[in-house]
Amino acid sequence: MKIAVIGAGFAGIASAKVLTELGHDVTVYEKAPDVGGVWSRTRRYPGLTTQNNKDSYTLSDLRMPKVFPEWLSGKQVQTYLEMYVEKFELAPMIRLDTEVLSAQPAGGGGWALTSRATTGDETTEHYDHLTVASGVFSEPFAPAYDGVDDLEAAGGSILAASELHDLEAVKGKDVVVVGYGKSACDVAVEIAKEAASTTVVARQLLWKMPRKIKGVLNYKVLLLTRMGEGLFPYQTVRGPEKVLHAGGSKMASSMVGSVESVTSGQLKLKKLGLLPKGQFTDIARSTVSLATEGFFEGVEAGDIVVERDTEIAAFVVKDGKPYAELTNGRALPADVVVTATGFKQELPFFSAEIQDQLTDDNGDYELYRQILPLSVKDLTFAGYNSSFFSPLSAEMSAVWIGSYLGGGHQVPPVEEMADHVANRLAWMRERTDGHHARGTNIIPFSMHNIDEVLGDVGLDVSKRTKAAQWLLPINPKAYASVTPRLVEKLAARS
């Protein structure tokens, strides 16, 4: 088949590699000048690092270089993807600096893709199948504030974290960072090194997990295992998880409560006035975030101020200087405002009609296994299962797509898939209070999703491997044989 892939981040690169190995003719479209997606040099902000340790944040068939540190910088992740492209000779099929303007169903099947290169040339080509791998973090979400014109007229500026590429823009200035996720805290630490003042405005405090508990126990041993994932009740609790959640989840609650107590003390949350509301189990509501090195130390030293449980109401000008007025009544000098407020899960190359077919009444994507639309033909999604192990999750989605296109497995009737998707989305909305990135964020149930995907394909890893993953951090290398086995399986069918 002639297949188009939109996006050259982890999901797009993995899809290109898997589908090419299965004999398909693949073209990857990427509007940035380099591969990497969120790790592209066009989107990296100062302080950008991974939340995962390097051994768990890879594709299955290429390890991170040994010289890389345990927690990777954005540049190092992008370098890894370039290494992957070179190793598997993917460069000839990747069109960099080329944006897909529209994707329309073609008469007789397939898709007509209209793209534009940076040269300005537009072309329209036909493909038998389209895989969307543009990512759930492709376009920053910017809150709509009153008074932005006044802010800018007074010399102030407002930009997304991914648009801040160096610290010259904040040197000696009063900076307001909006948000409290990892990106907000990462960039605040770096900004505080150069700015006159750095204030973080947090609508809601999130629980943070230190990289090392008490400076000794690596968090990967707690959360990046099947045991760690099993501490939080899945939609259906099976196997060993029944023990953890027996008697009203007392065992699981006790274990998570212990982590909450230790974490609160280690990060001095009560002393700093930064103890979040709720319980530590809330960390699993698609808001899992590592504590940024230096953030709480910066708060304690006074280099970073956190305005908690408040928002920016409007921007105003006082004595010729821009200020941000907060809903708590305070006013902050605001020469530069950096928003780290999440991303929009939008697909601008699709018509409104197609987007309506892809989503439910809540605007959530109706994708079976986070991959297959219910009613739009010749279309799949890769990487719409954002997880603790996003590269591996995306790669296994590509395996599912390859198996599906090659007849390696069958999907249930549309009515059955629709019921499954509806029930799953309702569960996701309830457990996350709606914060599930329009149905695309599956944290913390990364391995559950991978198990389901590979269960469909019939190429899951061994029970012995899964048993080891209960206590040991997940190693993507354990899944390196999946694609070769799929190649053999489909070859035997032909």
- Residue 342 backbone dihedrals phi, psi, to 5 degrees: 95, -170
Torsions phi, psi for 418 (to 5 deg): -65, -40
The arithmetic mean of pLDDT across residues 50-79, rounded, is 94
Note the pLDDT of residue 284: 64
Given strand 312-318, what is the order of strands in its sheet?
312-318, 321-326, 331-333
Q: Across residues 340-352, what is the average pLDDT?
A: 88
**136 is written with which tokens?**
């759930």
How much is the average pLDDT of 183-204?
96
The mean of the pLDDT values for the chain is 93
- The tokens 């069918």 sit on which residue? 493
The pLDDT tens digits for 129-141 are 999 999 877 777 8
CA dist 261 and 257 (Å) reads 6
Residue 41 pLDDT > 80:
yes
Name the residue among 235, 309, 249 with its Cα closest to residue 281: 249
The pLDDT of residue 456 is 97
**Average of per-residue pLDDT across 375-401:** 95
Nearest one of 46, 335, 73 to 165, comparing CA atoms: 46
H/E run at residue 358: helix 352-358
3-state secondary structure of 244: helix
Res 285: pLDDT: 64
> Around Cβ 118, how many Cβ atoms within 10 Å?
11
pLDDT tens-digit map of 103-122: 999 989 999 999 999 988 89
Question: Range with the lowest mean pLDDT among 26-35, 281-290, 429-438?
Answer: 281-290
Question: Residue 45: what pLDDT?
Answer: 87
Q: Is 259 exposed, middle or buried (0-12, 13-18, 19+ CB in 10 A)?
A: buried
Phi-psi sector, 422: left (phi>0), alpha (psi -120 to 50), beta: alpha
Looking at residue 431, its pLDDT comes to 86
